Amino acid sequence: MTLGPPSSAFRHRHLLGIEGFSPEEITLLLDTAEGHVEPNRQADKKRSLMRGRTIINLFFENSTRTRTSFELAGKRLGADVINMSVSGSSIKKGETMIDTAMTLNAMHPDVLVVRHHESGAVQLLSEKVDCAVINAGDGSHEHPTQALLDALTIRRRKGRLQGLVVAICGDILHSRVARSNIHLLSIMGARVRVVAPRTLLPAEIERLGVEVFHDMRQGLKDADIVMMLRLQTERMHGSFVPSTREYFHFFGLDYEKLAAAKPDALIMHPGPMNRGVEIDSEVADDIDRSVIRQQVEMGVAVRMACLELLARDLGNGPPLP
């Protein structure tokens, strides 16, 4: 198995977001993840890179993919992994997020993997604990490991990120996946477009260096990658689209709209999908074009890489800033 270069190339105590990462750091994370893909397909998947380490998954928001893949990633690296369910915790008795984190911190975990519905909450928590913290998604701010697994999926299929035209379509306003992907793809030299109704775009989105479209056929024209996002209704206060039926008509991905993209354009979706709302079922299941299942597979390899690179510095003196 190929492992990445020494951890001196990855000088972060926590993994809180993609913004501010260098192309070299992203490449190191992707190369390290690549080294985990084939071993993960073997019968014996267990390694000992994190033997003796403790990881706690602390999810204040629901998750299928991220929580399961962090658990698998930690276990495949030989760590002990605890899943904390907020619904069964003392948060339900009124304990705050910070008190909960400091309570867990007192048990000397090495890594806390945290998802929270408030933007910035994971950063705040990271300032209160001694261990490494990984952001598993905070509000509409960032979801760094999703962007990394998307990048690995694209790189494996297209051989590069540089110069690709990537159209990110749908609810950009509420999407942490969109933000992390915009940062990562821009840092790596891709051309990023966002395609959405005006109501689902943040003000001054152009400042992030993206091209803005309000029409799917124009936004998808000659795109290499079509990345669909669901309507994040749990973050919406009020009505942002007239109806899901109308939304699908104008912004849902079907074969007719996809025809504007390159013939070999890949279809991506971070999940969970709402079939018939942002994506047609047949398109989502198209085994030649859709890489949605591969994204899930790459999620385990990427999370192993993140855990491995952060864990390499644990116990080697004071943590890096």
Residues that bind ligand CP (CB under 6 A): 63-66, 137, 146, 270-272
Which CB atom, from 120 or from 272, has the smaller least distance to ligand CP?
272
Least Å from the CB of residue 284 to ligand CP: 14
With H, G, I as helix, E, B as strand and everything else as coil, classify residue 272: coil
Residues 74, 46 contacting (CB under 8 angstroms) = no
CA distance 148 to 56: 21
Residues 145, 134 contacting (CB under 8 angstroms) = yes
Least Å from the CB of residue 234 to ligand CP: 11
Contacts of 231 (CB under 8 A, 6+ apart): 170, 171, 200, 240, 241, 244, 247, 274, 277, 278
Which CB atom, from 241 or from 302, has the smaller least distance to ligand CP?
302
At how many degrees (to 10) do helices 144-158 and 176-187 cross?
50
Which CB atom, from 34 or from 71, has the smaller least distance to ligand CP?
71
Which CB atom, from 7 or from 146, has the smaller least distance to ligand CP?
146
Residues comprising the chain, all counted: 321
Residue in the structure block whose two tokens are 């192309």 = 23
Least Å from the CB of residue 181 to ligand CP: 11
Which CB atom, from 170 or from 270, has the smaller least distance to ligand CP?
270
Least Å from the CB of residue 228 to ligand CP: 12
Amino acid at 299: G
Least Å from the CB of residue 304 to ligand CP: 16
Pair of tokens at residue 78: 């030989």
